[in-house]
Amino acid sequence: MSDDGNVRNVVILGSGPAGLTSAIYTARGDLSPLVLEGEPSSTSDQPGGQLMLTTEVENFPGFATGVMGPALMTEMREQALRFGAEIRTEKAARVDLESSPIRVWLAGDPDDAPSILARTVIVATGARSLMLGLPNEARLLGYGVSTCATCDGFFFRDKTIAVVGGGDSALEEALFLTKFASSVTIVHRRDSLRASKIMQDRAFANEKIRFAWNSVVEDVVGGTTVEHLRLRNVLTGELSTLDVSGLFVAIGHAPNTDLFKGQLEMDPAGYLVTHDGTKTALPGVFACGDVQDHVYRQAVTAAGSGCMAAIDAERYLAALEHAASVGEATGGTSPSGLAASAPPSLPTAGATIG
């Protein structure tokens, strides 16, 4: 379906591994995607997404000796541009995903005149790790401070580590880290854990796991890497030092989904609900990456689902085009050539854009 410049075939929200993989696939499929890559910020909500905040990525296939997170994202962006994706350094400020065509507002757009109209939207706005807000935390992120044991545990072989948090995911991270670390201290602000009993039993039974109860981290201290933590006992006010090489912050994640409230189905934690691949309940709206995945949260899984969203969008557009040509033959096409409401039935044969 031609992109008439007025109504875009594909608009992609986000430029992490999910969004840029969608862009590579849809650009190679001649769909002229527009990517709103986000805006510069000091958090992971920035062009390139979460990997812009890390150093070495050792588990993304294809890089035998590893790759720096920002370098990987720069390559993905270049790859999308090479095939003709248009990338704008802006955020979607508002969306109307139920209209046809779909409407996307940029900051400053008048209420009645959104800048962007689209046949399909791929939502790849990702998620962010909740952080403690410590003075040195952001500076040492990727240099001993981490939010992902699966990603970074390997770097801490025979080292001492602290994990902050008291829920299931904190204990899951701590148990995983015991494969590498000589000891893992769970720092928790209360004297009991929120985690499920089975996870608690596993943690209590693991001889590498210790607990700093009723304690909060005041700061993480180190020059170029983590050297120790300053802890404060919340009951006595007593300060102490915990010598560790790593701090894993495991106090939760938040998906970037505020924009879609009231329009897209979300689970209780705010993650988008998808079905049959990357489809949402709205025709022409697809979601991929961490914004719809609170389980795996990896660059490669985000990229994989970005590929799926591109293929799903392409099939949707092909079915729209087919419906429009049948409508033309029978005299029933809408002026815009877009389906009025229900999604067209999608072809199940292999995608054409792989």
Residues belonging to the active site: 148, 151-152
For residue 48, give the 3-state DSSP assignment.
coil
DSSP count for the chain of H helices, then E strands: 6, 19
Residue 257 touches ligand FAD, criterion: CB under 6 A = no
CB of 90 to ligand FAD, least distance (A): 7
Task: Among 57, 242, 317, 324, indicate the residue that binds ligand FAD (CB under 6 A).
Answer: 57
Residue 18 touches ligand FAD, criterion: CB under 6 A = yes
Asked if residues 168 and 199 have their Cβ atoms less than 8 Å apart, the reply is yes
Task: Among 13, 163, 175, 264, indicate the residue that binds ligand FAD (CB under 6 A).
Answer: 13
Per-residue binding letters, 128-157, with ligand FAD (x by CB under 6 A): -x-----------xx----xx--x------
Task: Give the DSSP letter of residue 319.
Answer: H
Please provide the DSSP assignment of 49-115 as one string. Answer: GGGGG-SEE--STT-TT-EEHHHHHHHHHHHHHHTT-EEES--EEEEETTSSSEEEEETT--TT--S
For residue 220, give the 3-state DSSP assignment.
strand
Q: How many degrees, rounded to 5, is the angle at CA 255 between CA 188 and CA 21?
A: 125
Which is closer to ligand FAD, CB of 14 or CB of 337? 14
Which is closer to ligand FAD, CB of 91 or CB of 279? 91
Which is closer to ligand FAD, CB of 45 or CB of 312? 45
The count of other CB atoms within 10 Å of the CB of residue 205 is 9
Task: Among 11, 27, 34, 45, indicate the residue that binds ligand FAD (CB under 6 A).
Answer: 45
Residue 187 touches ligand FAD, criterion: CB under 6 A = no
Residue 256 touches ligand FAD, criterion: CB under 6 A = yes
Asked if residues 219 and 230 have their Cβ atoms less than 8 Å apart, the reply is yes
CB of 190 to ligand FAD, least distance (A): 26
Please provide the DSSP assignment of 294-315 as one string. Answer: SS---HHHHHHHHHHHHHHHHH
Residue 309 touches ligand FAD, criterion: CB under 6 A = no
Token readout for 16 is 């992490």
Residue 250 touches ligand FAD, criterion: CB under 6 A = no
Which is closer to ligand FAD, CB of 53 or CB of 175? 53
Binding site for ligand FAD (CB under 6 A): 13-19, 36-38, 44-51, 53-54, 57, 59-60, 91-92, 124-127, 129, 141-142, 147-148, 151, 256, 259, 289-291, 297-300, 302
